[in-house]
Every structure is written in structure tokens, then in C-alpha cells.
Amino acid sequence: MASPEPTRPGFQLPLLLLAGFRTLIDDLHAELAREGHPDLRPLHGFVLQAVGIDGTTASELGQRLGISKQAAGKTVDRLVAVGYLERVDDPADARRRLVRMTPRGVDGLRRSAEIFDRLRERWAATLGQDRVAAIEDDLSTMAATNWFRLDMPGWFGG
């Protein structure tokens, strides 16, 4: 049974995974822009997710995202500038500055989650629930390690 169907060239698979990711993210941000969040960049949603409802610190954020605390701090600066995050002093530890979402940040994150759910439904409507679930299962199997590394620009370029 020597390759009954001619196998696709291997380089297509990463390109397709990237294209899929990009399509979802582009669709997300097109919808977010429509819903009042035109400033949110692809990276920002992930940062908000990593900050979480409870807030965090720049150092911890860096660890969660897989980047340095300095890089995390700069990213927080930008999100503060556009009104999605704020810094507050930690009364219990004068070194720390808590990073937490503003109401606008919470709104953006909530909408992102809703939109992602709708986009997944759209995929399921075209491909079928089972096929989408299969993609998720298979990718979980093959890519379990890289679950939440967000140093995209530096990693890809670098």
C-alpha cells in the first residue's frame, strides 16, 4: 500500500494552519471594530485574556505570555494608553503595580469570547461539528506544548 493517494507536500500544512488562525483573527477584529473596538490589535486580545478578571503584574504577565517582564510592561503601557488596562498600586507590596482591566477592557474581552464562539459555529455549519472537533482534538494531540506562547513577532521574526 505505497501511498494510495499522492500525499500533499508537507509545507502546505503549516501554511494552512497559519491561514486558518489568521482568518479567525481577522474575522474577530472586523467584528470587534463593528462593535466599538477598532483599536484592539490581534495581540491585545490575548494580553487581555492573560491579564484576566483578577488582574496580575507585569512580571507575571510576562511569564504567562512567554516574554520578558520588560516586554510585558511595554505592552501594558500601550493598552493603558488606549484605555483597556489600568495600573494600581498594591497596598500590600509597594514594589508591585497591579495591572487590571478597565470596564472597556472587560467589554472587549467578553465580546471577543462571544465572537469566537460565533465564528466556531460558522465553521461547524460549513464543516460539521465533528470535523471542527476533530481539528481541535488533533491539534491538541500534536501541539499540546505550545498552548499559550504569545511572543509572536519576536518568535517569527526575531
Partner DNA sequence: TTAAGATAGTCAACGTGGTTGACGAAATAG
Partner DNA sequence: CTATTTCGTCAACCACGTTGACTATCTTAA
Q: Which residues contact DNA by CB under 7 A? A: 41, 43-44, 57-60, 65-75, 78, 87, 93-98, 150-154, 156-158
Closer residue to a copy of itself in complex, CB, 80/96: 80
Name the CA dihedral angle for 86, 87, 89, 92, rounded to a multiple of 10 degrees: 90
Question: Backbone phi, then psi, for 131, in 5-degree steps?
Answer: -70, -40
Q: How many CA atoms lie within 13 A of 91 on its CB side?
A: 0
Spatial neighbors of 7 by CB under 8 A, at least 6 apart, are: none
95 binds, among DNA, a copy of itself, none (CB under 5 to 8 A by kind): DNA
Measured CA to CA in angstroms, residue 25 lies from 19, 22, 42, 70, 120 at distances of 10, 5, 7, 26, 12
Q: Which of 34, 41, 74, 110 binds a copy of itself (CB under 8 A)?
A: 41
- Residue 20 touches a copy of itself, criterion: CB under 8 A: yes
Residues 123-152 that bind a copy of itself (CB under 8 A): 123-124, 126-127, 129, 131-136, 138-149, 152
Q: Whats the size of the chain, residue-wise? A: 158
* Least gap, CB of 149 to DNA (angstroms): 9
**Residues found near a copy of itself in the complex (CB under 8 A):** 5, 7-26, 28, 41-43, 49, 112-113, 115-121, 123-124, 126-127, 129, 131-136, 138-149, 152-153, 155-158
